Amino acid sequence: MTTNPHFEYEYAARKRATKLYKNKWSTSQIAEELGCSTSTVQNWLRYAGVEMRARGRARKCTDAQVRKMIAMRAKGWTYADIGEQFGISLQTVRSYTKASE
């Protein structure tokens, strides 16, 4: 019995994608390396049971810091003063605290 060459390629590609992802490659980098789409890579990884990393930019502040910012705003601190205290922009402070206002 002969095996399907496409199946063998896809199996090898899935295995390589999993290994690269675990070595901190992005799905875009893996897709480019393997010559497929990012959605294909994502599907392969999910099918393999790989826990996907969070997408987007990492938060600059912890939940505890955000709670402190909210408390500072409630005490009358300005966005700029809070931002200076935490080393972030006033826009970042505003985006973190707007839901609570």
Question: Mean pLDDT, consecutive 10-residue segments, the chain of 101 residues?
Answer: 67 93 94 95 94 82 93 95 94 88 70
Instruction: State the amino acid at position 75 in one-letter form.
Output: K
Second CATH level (architecture) for the domain 5-47: Orthogonal Bundle (1.10)
Where are the chain's structural domains? 5-47, 63-100
Angle (CA) 24 28 29, round 5°: 55
Q: In the 3-class helix/strand/coil scheme, how is the chain assigned residue by residue?
A: CCCCHHHHHHHHHHHHHHHHHHCCCCHHHHHHHHCCCHHHHHHHHHHCCCCCCCCCCCCCCCHHHHHHHHHHHHCCCCHHHHHHHHCCCHHHHHHHHHHHC
pTM summary value: 0.55
Given this model, what pLDDT does residue 83 score?
A: 95
Angle at 37 between CA 35 and CA 39, to 5 degrees: 145
